[in-house]
Amino acid sequence: MKNYDVVIIGAGNGGLASAASLSQAGKKVCVLEKHNIPGGCGTSFCRGRFEFEVALHQLSSMGTKENPGPLRKQFRRYGIEDKIEWIPIESLYKINLPDGRGITLPADKEEVQKKLIKEFPAEVENIKRYYQTVYKFNEEINSFRAKSAGSTGEPSGLKKWLTKTLFPSVYPTLTKYAVRSTQDVLDEFFKDKALQLCLSAYWCFMGVAPENFPFTILAMCTYIYTEDKPFYVRGGSQVISQALTEMIRENGGTILFNKKVERIIIENGKACGVIDDEGEEFRAKKIISNISPTQTYAKLLQKEEIPDSIRSYFKSYKPGISALTCFIGLDCPPETIGFTDSFNLTYSSLDANEDFKNAYKLDTSIDPIISTCYTVDDPKVSPPGTSIITAGTLKYSEAWEKLSPEEYHQKKYELASTIIDRLEKRFPGLRSHIEEIEVATPLTHMRYLGHPSGAIYGYEQDLRSSVFFFPATDNVIPNLVFASGWVNTCGFGPNYMFADKLASSLLKEMDNE
């Protein structure tokens, strides 16, 4: 039996960041990872002469070296900022509309408005008003968070009444838009459906159609990517995972690979350790689970150890969407096929809500296609004269789970071929230049990530999952807390930062015990 201050289940982004913060603060930390490499989604794999990025499209919250965003500050504090080459991306994304137009939005507040006004001159005043609202919304939410973070203890009845009464006057924009859908807000501002598609692209980062996607998350994404700029990493997200791993070990932390946790030890109603698949015990004052609450409670605890409140929690929240993704290695540079912007979203119609319904089907003929060519921003990501592209659609797992092995193999490549055919219309010559291709389905994500339903964004990020309504999972069982995309807004940047805040909270708890 080994003793630690904190044991962390999983070396994904949240697990690594929490371990980094805790080990840097002098805590004795042990991370147990079932895979043979760190990172979870933050990793890569090789096929032929290509190394493919698994998940990262754009990293948020970085900012520049001179004007750092919160994530860059966090990496700077860890001492890994200068060990990684950060690649700025000049555009937010490119929207490929069904009429053949391709609209690239610059990563700059003034320039993006100029671009949209040029494309949609009839909406000029609405565009300006919309961006004013988005920025005001973020100003108010940041103010609200700062004041909330400064509060201590349980608020009195009077304070609760004053907060409820005064909130609308102090935070009018937040009050008006916080619990509305993206589609509802866009309909308030704009008539042009093509313009709405251009402004709502970040729904694909959470896997919920605009009619159910919280405007809160869209507004935050728009602000963060515009102000702090999107970034990529030379060598891919695996480089971040490796840098964090080395930093944790340099600070005395332990990371063990090929170590699958079988059970969380509960004594006197409190979590106090874990047991791995070889029967070895790891005792700790705190347990951080970097896997989903669903898997944690269902797989790592005995039935009698699960509180009734958690059973009702499972009824309220369901795993979100997964994806069908083609990892493509081309024998030509991106300009050969006209792939000039790294991140693209291609629509088959102007109704994203209707097209999204195809996510439940074994069909890729009308789904919005998300495609990223990493070579555009990082020519060194693949051998000279080649390109790496990932292209896919968002898909729920249910239909895939019903296929026989033979049907699965056939359908996997049939649907991938449809995606390539559709992209061929935008990027002529794509198919003829394919040298390597690998296809991942929701079942692939289920297998390698261990996520229920192969969910890539955690629980369904619909309106009830606005930042104000995330479920309380921490300390339902004392000393057991969570750090993953299942308990925050998901994404690389949010996960790193959420885990850092969680670690700070645990440090205060442990120092007071």
Confirm whether 52 is domain-assigned. Answer: no
* Domain end among 164, 187, 222: 222
CA-CA-CA-CA torsion sign (172, 177, 179, 184): positive
Which segment of 11-15, 113-117, 484-488 scores lowest on mean pLDDT?
484-488
Dist. CA 308–CA 491, nearest whole Å: 30
Residue range 213-240: average pLDDT?
95
Q: Which of 165-179, 218-232, 248-262, 402-416 has the lowest mean pLDDT?
A: 165-179
Residue 51 lies in a domain: no
Q: Rounded to an integer, what distance in angstroms lies between the CA atom of residue 170 and that of residue 256?
A: 49
SS3 category, 435: strand
Would you state the pLDDT for residue 306?
A: 85
pLDDT digits (tens, 9 = 90+) for 292-351: 998 999 999 998 898 887 777 777 788 999 999 999 999 999 999 999 999 999 999 999
User: What confidence category does residue 147 fall into, taking pLDDT thresholds of 50, 70 and 90?
Assistant: confident
Domain total of the chain: 3
Residues 6+ away with beta carbon under 8 Å from 323: 207, 392, 393, 394, 395, 440, 442, 445, 454, 456
Residue where a domain stops, chosen among 222, 256, 288: 222
For the chain, the average pLDDT equals 93
Task: Say if residue 188 is in the same domain as residue 307.
Answer: no
69 and 158 both lie in a single domain = no
Same domain for 334 and 441? yes
| One domain, residues 410 and 326 | yes
Residue 470 has what pLDDT? 58
Whole-model pTM above 0.85? yes
**pLDDT tens digits, residue range 431-466?**
999 999 999 999 999 999 889 999 999 988 888 765
The reported pLDDT for the residue numbered 66 is 96
- Residue range 464-470: mean pLDDT, rounded: 58
d(CA 490, CA 487): 8
What average pLDDT does range 115-136 have in this prediction? Answer: 98
Does 248 share its domain with 351? no
Q: Give 471 or 252, the one with higher predicted confidence.
A: 252
Has residue 162 got a pLDDT over 60?
Answer: no
23-76 per-position pLDDT tens digit: 999 999 999 999 999 999 999 999 999 999 999 999 999 999 999 999 999 999
CB 308 within 8 A of CB 29: no
416: left (phi over 0), alpha (psi -120 to 50) or beta: alpha
Q: Is residue 262 part of a domain?
A: yes
